[in-house]
Homo-oligomer: A and B are copies of this chain.
Amino acid sequence: MGVTTRSRPDVHTAAELIDESLDAGHVCSIVGRCTVAYDGRTQSTLPAGERLVVCKPDGTLLVHHAAGHKPVNWQPPGGTHDITLIDGELHLQSRRDAPDERVEIRFTDLRQVSAYALEEDHDRDVTGSEDDLRQRILEQPTLVEEGFQPRMTERETSAGPVDIYGVDANGTPVIVECKRRRVGPDAVGQLARYVAAAEREYTTKTVRGILIAPSITDRAERELTQHELKWVALDPIHSV
Count of this chain's copies in the oligomeric assembly:
2
A111 touching B2, Cβ below 8 Å: yes
Residue A150 CB within 8 A of the other chain: no
A205 within 8 A of B: no
Are B67 and A58 in touch, CB under 8 angstroms?
yes
> Knowing A56-B67, A119-B66 touch, does A42 contact B5 (C-beta < 8 A)?
no
Q: Report yes or no: B66 in contact with A27, Cβ–Cβ below 8 A.
A: yes
Give every chain B residue within 8 A of A188 (Cβ-Cβ).
Answer: 193
A137 at interface by CB-CB < 8 Å: no
A160/B181 in contact, CB under 8 A: no
Residues of A within 8 A of B (CB): 2-3, 5, 7-8, 25, 27, 29, 31, 36, 38, 41-47, 49-52, 54, 56-58, 60, 62, 64-69, 72-77, 111-112, 114, 116-122, 124-129, 158-160, 180-181, 185-186, 188-190, 192-193, 196, 200, 219, 222-223, 226, 236-237
